[in-house]
Amino acid sequence: MKDQASKLRDIHRIKRLTAEQLRPVRRLAVTSGKGGVGKSNVSLNLALCFQKLGRRTLLVDADTNLANIDILLGINPEFTLADAILKDQFIMDVLVQGPEGLRILPAGSGVVELVGLDEMVADRLSVALSELERHQDLIVLDTGAGISEGVVEFASGSDEVIIITTPEPTAITDAYAAIKVISSRNAAAKLYLLVNQAKSKEEADEVGRKISLVVENYLATTLETLGWLPSDPHVPQSVARQTPFLLACPRCPASTHLMMIARRLLRLPVQFTGRTFFHNFLGAGKREKELA
């Protein structure tokens, strides 16, 4: 029979494991209506902001058409999530250690294969990915641009979605289209707008005002303007050097603005869905609906 001390240790272990399993993980998808608005660059540097602020952060590159995180960092991942899906690669071997302790999951081309996953394979992969998620405080998901099915599925599976736009008219129009589709898929998701490459606060505020007004009037959805990033020459310079601008020039306007945005996000309350991101990612939610 177990002695008293052994029983107490078991109880403590069960309580600890339960607390870990119930610990909410914040999931932020970063998306855009069109390409070329700096989405991946914002995703990478925002994830680094969170990491610098003491949050264990996982950055998932889910742009299945134009995966750019590895290029922005000047790295060549040995494996991607596609290898875990198609070649049974151990998920921990897919992870890449980035700067500041940031963990990166390179999805790469081939993630589209998730759509046709065998149920047994999907369930096995879901367990591995959910275990990975359980050890994070934050997951930043860099989706593709546009409103294709894959992009919308990734974005709508998150608790919060940051839509990136620039003051360019086509980017504004496409941002609204993305908001419309994502909100129709996940009405509970918190939607934020971030205006990138703005010439001034006034210009960014005007863009935010226009989009928010249309969203509220026609979609009956609240869009919160998260902030803005100035047009900063340090950003393209850092891209050319394959070094995140937050690290290359931490005091430049883009870095200071983004750090303020990260701090603001951490102060905002979040309504968690109670379902892991990877649960949605692998379509487990769809299978549950089909079986109901």
- pLDDT for 17-33, tens place per residue? 444 444 578 889 999 99
Which pLDDT value is given to residue 17?
A: 43
Which pLDDT value is given to residue 84?
A: 75
Question: For the chain, what is the domain count?
Answer: 1
Which pLDDT value is given to residue 286?
A: 47
The mean-pLDDT minimum among 33-47, 144-158, 241-255 falls in 144-158
Asked if residue 161 lies in contact with residue 272, where contact means CB atoms within 8 angstroms, the answer is no
Q: Is the pLDDT of residue 265 over 70?
A: yes
In a domain, 19, yes or no: no
- pLDDT per position as a tens digit, 135-172: 899 999 898 887 776 677 777 778 899 999 999 999 99
Specify the amino acid at residue 3.
D
Which pLDDT value is given to residue 65?
A: 66
In a domain, 14, yes or no: no
In a domain, 6, yes or no: no
Q: Is the pLDDT of residue 180 over 80?
A: yes
65 DSSP 8-state letter: S
Q: Is the pLDDT of residue 68 over 70?
A: yes
In angstroms, the CA 238 to CA 160 distance is 28
162 DSSP 8-state letter: E
In angstroms, the CA 11 to CA 8 distance is 5
In angstroms, the CA 83 to CA 73 distance is 21
Helix segments in the chain, DSSP class H: 4-22, 39-52, 69-73, 81-86, 91-94, 119-133, 149-156, 169-185, 201-219, 234-240, 245-248, 253-267, 277-281, 284-291
Which pLDDT value is given to residue 267?
A: 93
Out of 121-125, 128-132, 213-217, 275-279, give the one with best mean pLDDT: 213-217
CATH number at residue 279: 3.40.50.300
The stretch 78-84 carries a mean pLDDT of 80
Helix axes 201-219, 169-185, angle to 10 degrees: 40
The stretch 259-272 carries a mean pLDDT of 88
In a domain, 134, yes or no: yes
Read off the pLDDT band of 292 (50, 70, 90).
Answer: very low
In a domain, 268, yes or no: yes
Read off the pLDDT band of 61 (50, 70, 90).
Answer: confident
The mean-pLDDT minimum among 5-9, 15-19, 210-214, 253-257 falls in 15-19
Phi, psi of 137 (to 5 degrees): -95, -35
Instruction: Locate 19 and state its tokens.
Output: 């607390």
Looking at the DSSP assignment, which residues form a beta bridge with residue 58? Answer: 103, 139
In a domain, 10, yes or no: no
In a domain, 22, yes or no: no
Which pLDDT value is given to residue 277?
A: 59
Judge residue 272's burial from the number of C-beta atoms within 10 Å of its C-beta, 0-12 exposed, 13-18 middle, 19 or more buried. exposed
Judge residue 270's burial from the number of C-beta atoms within 10 Å of its C-beta, 0-12 exposed, 13-18 middle, 19 or more buried. middle
What range defines the domain where residue 50 resides? 27-291
In a domain, 177, yes or no: yes
- pLDDT per position as a tens digit, 103-128: 998 876 555 555 445 565 556 666 66
User: How high is the mean pLDDT of the chain?
Assistant: 81
The CA–CA distances, whole Å, from 51 to 57, 126, 140, 180, 246 equal: 6, 25, 11, 31, 12
